Amino acid sequence: MPEQPNAIPYITSYYEERWGFCLTHEQFENLEEGEYEVFIDSEHFDGELNYGELLIEGESKQEIFLSTYICHPSMANNELSGPTVVTFIAKWLLEKGKPKHSYRIIFIPETIGSTTYLSLNYSEMKKNVFAGFNVTCIGDDRAYSYVPSRAGDTISDEVALHVLKWTDPNFIKYTWFDRGSDERQYCSPGIDLPIASIIRTKYGKYPEYHTSLDDLKTVVTPSGLNGGYWALRSAIEGLERNKKYLISVLGEPQMGKRGLYPTLSTKKSGEGVRLMMNFISLCNGRTSLLKIAELLGVAIWDLYELCDKLEEHNLLSINE
């Protein structure tokens, strides 16, 4: 690639027998004139397709599905960042105590792996998977991005859009026609799983993509991985806490006698009271916490402490 003379491109030829070598343009330019003899010590044989699978049982059989791929791990953002972030998400899920939802986490080769996994599991998945994410390109610090599910309005899309908006108001919103990873299988007609993508910089949208320059120095960074991890984790936490609350009294509750009004009135406490009373006014048992956060114009995580406090005072019940 003359325009990237020190990059080794990543080229595949899946369905036709060919051969070739990938090298940098610099190496290519420095090859001496002459005839080369090529010895390729390789063979085609019937092997088997392996994948990693982790099922975490939660209180409910309803599953959140996480898929990431492991076919060309020599490149960092696409693709090693995906397995890395998902590994730490799995670690957090296993350590945090039994989650509300169950989790189905797979490490597969792209396309052929998702097709294979679906062929073995799709009827069970269609029954149980209510949300999920395809995890890729989640380690750089240049942008936050979103690719919708085919339906575009699933709970995965809703929580991804909410989290990304409150993580980075300038996040990039791609369309279904910009897709390019395993959501092509997960969302295909008849499969129709609710799988969206939370991404840092999307595959195909950065110059180092599919070259040896997609590395752990200039592309993937600690803060890039950390941001990707927290965006995905915030989406999962949002789904874990996305309940439908019903206020347990008719009319506004008397907050003073419950000690829920601040004793000292400041500008900040005034805002807190207003948020609390607005929140309570929306707890009708039919509106999800995500929708309430959208209506109130706040991040869902800004409501968690308030929910806990009101639950403690027996002011909220949960409509499942």
Report the interface residues with a copy of itself, using CB under 8 A: 15-16, 111, 114-115, 118-119, 122, 150, 176-177, 184-185, 187-192, 246-247, 250-252, 256-257, 274, 277-278, 281-285, 296
CB of 86 vs a copy of itself, minimal distance in Å: 22
Q: How many residues does the structure list for the chain?
A: 320
CB of 125 to a copy of itself, least distance (A): 12
- From the list 83, 82, 86, the residue with the least C-alpha distance to 64 is 86
- Residues facing 133 on adjacent strands: 66, 196
Nearer to a copy of itself, 151 or 216 (CB): 151
At 291, which helix (H) or strand (E)? helix 289-296
According to DSSP, the β-strands at 52-56 and 102-108 are antiparallel
Give the nearer residue to a copy of itself in terms of CB position, either 141 or 192: 192
Give min distance, CB of 306 to a copy of itself, in A: 16
CB of 184 to a copy of itself, least distance (A): 6
Q: How far is the CB of 185 from a copy of itself (least distance, A)?
A: 5
Q: Where are the beta strands (DSSP E) in the chain?
A: 52-56, 63-69, 102-108, 129-135, 145-147, 172-173, 195-199, 244-247, 284-288, 316-319
Residue closer to a copy of itself (CB basis): 30 or 123: 123
Q: Between 192 and 215, whose beta carbon lies closer to a copy of itself?
A: 192
100, 60 contact by CB (below 8 A) = yes
Rounded least distance, CB 187 to a copy of itself, Å: 7
CB of 244 to a copy of itself, least distance (A): 11
Phi-psi sector, 201: left (phi>0), alpha (psi -120 to 50), beta: beta
How far apart are alpha carbons 216 and 59 in whole angstroms?
Answer: 38
**N-terminal to C-terminal alpha carbon distance within the chain:** 56
Rank residues 58 and 272 by Cβ distance to a copy of itself and give the closer one. 272
Q: Find out whether 280 and 315 touch, Cβ atoms under 8 Å.
A: yes
CB nearer a copy of itself, residue 101 or residue 150: 150
Helices 304-312 and 267-282 sit at what angle, rounded to 10 degrees? 70
Nearer to a copy of itself by Cβ, of 122 and 171: the residue is: 122
- Min dist. Cβ of residue 180 to a copy of itself (A): 10
Q: Which is nearer to a copy of itself, 36 or 177 (CB)?
A: 177
CA–CA separation, 154 vs 99, rounded Å? 21
